[in-house]
Structure 1
Amino acid sequence: MQVDQTLSNYSDLAFQSAFVIYTVALFVSLWYYGRMQAVVDVRRRLAAKNKAQDRELVSVGGSGDVTDTGSTDAETLSDIDELHKREKGADKASGMTQALIWLAIVFHAAAVILRGLATGRFPLGNLYEYVLTITLGVFVIVAAALTRKSWRPLWPWILTPMLALLFYGGTELYAESAPVVPALQSNWLPIHVSTVSIGASIGIVSGVASLLYLLRIWQAPGKEKGFFGALAKPLPTARKLDALAYRSAIITLPTFGLGIILGAVWAEAAWGRFWGWDPKETVSFITWVLYAAYLHARATAGWKNWKAAIINIVALATMIFNLFFINLVVSGLHSYAGLN
């Protein structure tokens, strides 16, 4: 089928527009992150003053003395007023971030759809298209999950690696719109690769949550110190981050596993065997085993802490290794990066 170059150009333009909007969203999310640091500081200052006032009241009640607390009340009211102002500013930045993300997702989805229409196939024929699709999956999943304000401090931690991946995909991995190689001209292409993409997208969210969980248990709320303490201050609690990682991995394991099984069925139809220990097959299977090990460790007494999180992070690292090193360096039956 002949490629529609006009639609292909529109796809590239939509990708560039999405990248710019995501970048603006990153800066706005960093602004929001800074405001949340100030909000946390004021909240803790208020909590400390309330505790001090409670102790004073208990002391006054016990001794029968009367103490003038007018100045203290005035300071408390001033802190409350400051807290409301800072929360209002943070909410504004949070809403702007969320709106920009959804706008970027529209352009991002348009880039994927137009790429498919331009080539008359599902846009999963090379590594650029795969990166385009998997990052879209991450953004849609995270945007839907971060509708609650308490989770929105995670945006800078998601946007930064995804923008880096999009930049690399749009520069080093970019491939002109073209028909796929004969080996990929199959109805199994969208079924297998889409399933793997969804599983990988959710797995990325799970891995990032585990990384932030380790940061949070290292820099516990109220005990943050130094540069990393300032970074951790606006984050949710370690328990919430661990729960996000665990619930995401629960979806990743069967979805990614189903993608591997569908790939094996396709391999039997294309190459006459279900499994051949091809480099990509092998590393994909190792990744799936690591996710299974993480879930098992997470449910095992004595492992429900940083040990299980490390397994999840290793699974994320293995997935990234599979995406880049196996596709770009190692030669195998899955070498369809589209760079040659």
Structure 2
Amino acid sequence: MTSDQFSALSDSLFSASIIIYALAALAFCGELAFGRRAFRPSQELATVGVGTSLSSPEDGAQPPAAASGSAGRRWGLLGVGLTGAGALANAGVLVARSAATGRVPWGNMYEFATASVLAGVVAYLVFAVRVPAVRRIGAFVLGPVVLGLVLIGLYLYAESGPLIAALRSDWLAVHVSAAIISFGIFIVSAVASALYLVAVHRERTLGDGGRRSGGIADKLPSVAVLDRVAHRTAVFGFPVWTFAVIAGAIWAESAWGRFWGWDPKETWAFISWALYATYLHARTTAGWRGRPAAWVNLVAFASLVFNLLFVNLVSTGLHSYGGVS
């Protein structure tokens, strides 16, 4: 195949991945619609009983078993299968891009964002397979994934081509790949923290005498599961992000003669690093566990998104390559 054919294949697979991910999101919605609520009444009472901290579940606590109906379980398994198929198409986008350009497929924002989505989906799949209850957050992972890919295709798309001179370095594969992996992992962590806040609010309502409505909030995993997913993904992503920052500093010394210059992207990378360090510390600190820590995690992820979009597209600095990261 020629470079143009590989490029066309990459674009086709990009569209296919959006469609498959959208079908997966619908399947996960089916699991929420047809599955039974996550807790039995007796378990609900135990969860909100005296002596149980809803905002700071213990890591070692075992979540109540999810009671998915057979129909809901089938929808969930279909969603996992479609998500896997979408991930293969997503990976194909990058492989075809690499074949078309003869370089690593993350030389611009379009490729970086597409690869980050893939990393996030793979991280979700790992948890969904290991912890079946995590399947129930699939709609909340795949929904943003579909929206994100649509926006990436509309506003960040770049034709296949060679790297610009500033990015022609062996450090590109090291630094950017680490950033992609950590960004994708942090996507799952942020979704879990957001749903954790919803679940905590719902269980507090029940503790105050409220009744279950049978809505989506009643079918989320337990606060303990959501808290652990958010924390463990951040624990894994943080050292990878730390490595990305260090590798970037080494590359900067090679390219610009200094390790750190407080360029806008460097500054925000450090801010994101500090916020995630704060989250991991807060998660184990009395008075900050639970909801406060979850909010810190969401702010940390927002800083990553700001760094990716605003700093690359709007600000001026050594990392500004006309919208290319």
Normalised by the length of structure 1, the TM-score is: 0.83
Against the structure 1 CA distance between its residues 42 and 236, is the aligned structure 2 distance closer, same or farther, given a 3 Å change threshold?
closer
Match of 1:193 in 2: 176
Match of 1:260 in 2: 245
Identity across aligned pairs (percent)?
Answer: 38
Query: Does the 8 A contact of 1:265 with 1:274 survive in 2?
Result: yes
What per-residue deviation string (whole Å, max 9, x for no partner) do you get for residues 44-74 of structure 1?
A: 49999xxxxxxxxxxxxxxxxxxxxxxxxxx
Q: For 1:178-189, list aligned pairs within 5 A.
A: 178-189=161-172
Counterpart check, 1:216 vs 2:165? no
Task: Give, in angstroms, the shift of residue 182 of structure 1.
Answer: 0.1
What is the alpha-carbon distance in structure 1 between the residues aligned to residue 39 and residue 215 of structure 2?
14
What is the alpha-carbon distance in structure 1 between the residues aligned to residue 297 and residue 249 of structure 2?
25
Against the structure 1 CA distance between its residues 10 and 205, is the aligned structure 2 distance closer, same or farther, given a 3 Å change threshold?
same
Runs of 5+ unmatched residues, structure 2: 46-66
Task: Give, in angstroms, the shift of residue 150 of structure 1.
Answer: 1.4
Query: Does the 8 A contact of 1:137 with 1:201 survive in 2?
Result: yes
Against the structure 1 CA distance between its residues 5 and 228, is the aligned structure 2 distance closer, same or farther, given a 3 Å change threshold?
farther
Counterpart check, 1:202 vs 2:201? no
What is the alpha-carbon distance in structure 2 between the residues aligned to residue 161 and residue 197 of structure 1?
17
What is the alpha-carbon distance in structure 2 between the residues aligned to residue 95 and residue 323 of structure 1?
33
Task: Give, in angstroms, the shift of residue 297 of structure 1.
Answer: 1.0
Counterpart check, 1:303 vs 2:288? yes
Amino acid at match of 1:196: A
1:138 aligned to which of 110, 120, 124 = 120
What is the alpha-carbon distance in structure 2 between the residues aligned to residue 289 and residue 42 of structure 1?
37
Query: Does the 8 A contact of 1:125 with 1:336 survive in 2?
Result: no
How many residue pairs get matched?
A: 299
Alignment partner of 2:37: what SS? helix
Against the structure 1 CA distance between its residues 242 and 8, is the aligned structure 2 distance closer, same or farther, given a 3 Å change threshold?
same
What per-residue deviation string (whole Å, max 9, x for no partner) do you get for residues 111-150 of structure 1?
A: 1111011100001111000011000001111112101331
What per-residue deviation string (whole Å, max 9, x for no partner) do you get for residues 228-278 of structure 1?
A: 982311111111111111111111221101100000000000111111111
Match of 2:149 in 1: 166
Counterpart check, 1:119 vs 2:101? yes
Counterpart check, 1:330 vs 2:312? no
Match of 1:108 in 2: 90
Match of 1:66 in 2: none
Match of 2:79 in 1: 97
Alignment partner of 1:220: what SS? helix
Question: What value does the CA root-mean-square deviation take over the aligned residues?
Answer: 2.4
What is the alpha-carbon distance in structure 1 between the residues aligned to residue 280 and residue 19 of structure 2?
37
Structure number having the greater helix percentage:
1
Query: Does the 8 A contact of 1:138 with 1:204 survive in 2?
Result: yes
What is the alpha-carbon distance in structure 2 between the residues aligned to residue 337 and residue 206 of structure 1?
30
Amino acid at match of 2:27: V
What per-residue deviation string (whole Å, max 9, x for no partner) do you get for residues 160-195 of structure 1?
A: 111111111111110000111100011110110001
What is the alpha-carbon distance in structure 1 between the residues aligned to residue 192 and residue 76 of structure 2?
19
What is the alpha-carbon distance in structure 2 between the residues aligned to residue 322 and residue 229 of structure 1?
39
Query: Does the 8 A contact of 2:312 with 2:323 survive in 1?
Result: no
Task: Give, in angstroms, the shift of residue 41 of structure 1.
Answer: 8.6
Against the structure 1 CA distance between its residues 254 and 47, is the aligned structure 2 distance closer, same or farther, given a 3 Å change threshold?
closer
Counterpart check, 1:155 vs 2:155? no
Against the structure 1 CA distance between its residues 32 and 229, is the aligned structure 2 distance closer, same or farther, given a 3 Å change threshold?
closer
1:294 aligned to which of 270, 279, 284 = 279
Counterpart check, 1:317 vs 2:302? yes
What is the alpha-carbon distance in structure 2 between the residues aligned to residue 17 and residue 286 of structure 1?
36
Alignment partner of 1:123: what SS? coil
Task: Give, in angstroms, the shift of residue 43 of structure 1.
Answer: 4.9
What is the alpha-carbon distance in structure 2 between the residues aligned to residue 296 and residue 47 of structure 1?
30
Query: Does the 8 A contact of 1:135 with 1:201 survive in 2?
Result: yes
Query: Does the 8 A contact of 2:38 with 2:221 survive in 1?
Result: no
Normalised by the length of structure 2, the TM-score is: 0.86
Counterpart check, 1:26 vs 2:25? yes
Query: Does the 8 A contact of 2:250 with 2:259 survive in 1?
Result: yes
Query: Does the 8 A contact of 1:219 with 1:229 survive in 2?
Result: no
Alignment partner of 1:336: what SS? coil
Task: Give, in angstroms, the shift of residue 21 of structure 1.
Answer: 0.7
What is the alpha-carbon distance in structure 2 between the residues aligned to residue 226 and residue 131 of structure 1?
42
Bigger radius of gyration among the two? 1
Task: Give, in angstroms, the shift of residue 42 of structure 1.
Answer: 9.8
